[in-house]
Structure 1
């Protein structure tokens, strides 16, 4: 492993363009900086060319400077992760399904705007990838639609996600024949969701597989685009429908008793959530509950 002091000397020389200026900035002698450069070049080969008072990096020098910058960024990330003095600063990482992720992302941006010291890293992913990411410690928090049966993961209810039958704004659904006329816009979870919801509204129906397929999208934010254009209907979680920009172009059909999925919050069982993560989770839980209450009063 390269000596960190040698790397600091090299980065200063590359940034400031001279040994003397680098030595002054680092509080070292010029001879010490030169010695550090000699050590690096003995291991890595020529790093720079001196042209009078100018210094030009060679290809190995460019690569080493990129390495120095990566080490510096990693150090800053480590400091953010270990700094737990205040709950509204430092990094929080979470990975969620796309549907609830669409609802959460604006809330996370609101938190970052209100608390500039907060760094939130958010990724959309299906359940399998989410479980693996939390187990591999790439994300501190995960949200999944199915509670995992894994003793390494702690799971608790996080939010409820009702399913909705969504059609073009000018359409209505009174019978199974209306769905056959419209056709189905599918997505990765579409047939499973539609089966669960439509069985409540049309218990004697032949099932969603019997409906004509009008389209498919694996992008959660795009599933409602063909519905808005009158190309068919779909069944989708409410959070995804509420995040759709063209709300006037779609319509939700009531299906009687709601079909509601429970979303589960995951973290490594042996490690409690950081204070920052707990604080962020509580903030977004409050906002999601407020949104749910507002929907119930409509």
Structure 2
């Protein structure tokens, strides 16, 4: 490990172009600065070609100056992360279900555009992957549909996500026979969501598995494409339906009392959220397009 004071003396000599100026800048004697450079040369070989009071960096000297600059930059990044002083710059990492992610991601990008120092890192993922990513410290924030039973994770209600029965525009659902005629468009959580919602609307139904399946997609942004083309119906969270661009091509069927999932905000319990993460969450809650669906403590 190279002595930090020796490195500072060498970098100051290289920057200012002389030992006397470097000594004045550092508050040291010229002899001390010269001795620091000599110590480095004893370890690394010749760093400077001296021509009277002027000098030229040798290849080893140029490499050492690059090394010093990299160390200084790393030190500044470390200090910035530890101080957490700037709430509107730096990285914000969030991992969420696809449905609410479709609503959140544009808001996060709006924040980034308004605050160019922010770096948004967002990923769509199911609950198990989200829990693992937060536990492994790959993401600071996560949203899950089931409250985790793990003491290492802190969890609080963040938003409510109603389920909706969505059919092609112009279609209606008066009874189970209409669902059989339309056919089911499935997705990774489709059968579970449909079972919960349809049990409320059709309490004596024979089950989702009895319906003809007309399609499947694991991409939340594409689930409603076959519905919009008249190929079937599906049950999805409202956030996913609201993010779908072809709103006129689909219809939401009223199913009485809503079936609502609570989305849980999770992070590591051992340390508090960064001030940047808290600021971003508060900004999201203030945004009118999302605030009506966010759980306010």
- Sort the TM-score into its range (normalised by shorter chain): 0.7 to 0.9
- In structure 2, the partner of 1:126 is 126
Matches within 5 A, 1:49-198: 78=78, 81-198=81-198
Range with bigger deviation, 194-203 or 24-33: 24-33
Match of 1:35 among 56, 60, 78: 60
Report the CA distance shift for 1:239/1:75 in structure 2 as closer, same or farther (over 3 A): farther
How far does the alpha carbon of each residue in 1:198-227 deviate from its partner, in whole angstroms, 9 at most, with x for none? 000000110111000000000010000100
**Contact 2:159-2:293 within 8 A present in 1 as well:** no
In 2, distance between residues paired with 1:126 and 1:157?
17
Q: CA RMSD in A?
A: 3.1
**Contact 2:284-2:291 within 8 A present in 1 as well:** no
In 2, distance between residues paired with 1:107 and 1:164?
23
SS of 2:120's equivalent in the other structure is strand
Normalised to the residue count of structure 1, the TM-score between the two structures is: 0.75
- Deviation, structure 1 residue 172: 0.7
- Deviation, structure 1 residue 91: 1.5
- Deviation, structure 1 residue 116: 1.5
In 2, distance between residues paired with 1:72 and 1:133?
30
- Deviation, structure 1 residue 183: 0.2
SS of 2:148's equivalent in the other structure is coil
Report the CA distance shift for 1:87/1:38 in structure 2 as closer, same or farther (over 3 A): closer
- In structure 1, the partner of 2:24 is none
Report the CA distance shift for 1:202/1:108 in structure 2 as closer, same or farther (over 3 A): same
**Contact 2:159-2:263 within 8 A present in 1 as well:** yes
Count of aligned pairs between the two proteins: 250
In 2, distance between residues paired with 1:201 and 1:286?
34
- In structure 2, the partner of 1:272 is 272
Structure 1 or 2, whichever has the larger Rg, is 2
SS of 1:129's equivalent in the other structure is helix
SS of 1:178's equivalent in the other structure is helix
How far does the alpha carbon of each residue in 1:107-158 deviate from its partner, in whole angstroms, 9 at most, with x for none? 0011111111222211111111111111111111111000000000000001
Q: Structure 1: state its 5+ residue gaps.
A: 9-22, 40-64, 294-298
In 2, distance between residues paired with 1:271 and 1:149?
18
In 2, distance between residues paired with 1:191 and 1:78?
47
In 1, distance between residues paired with 2:284 and 2:170?
34
Is 1:241 the counterpart of 2:266? The answer is no
- Deviation, structure 1 residue 88: 1.5
Report the CA distance shift for 1:202/1:113 in structure 2 as closer, same or farther (over 3 A): same
**Contact 2:161-2:293 within 8 A present in 1 as well:** no
**Contact 1:159-1:285 within 8 A present in 2 as well:** no
Q: Structure 2: state its 5+ residue gaps.
A: 8-12, 18-36, 38-46, 50-56
- Deviation, structure 1 residue 33: 3.9
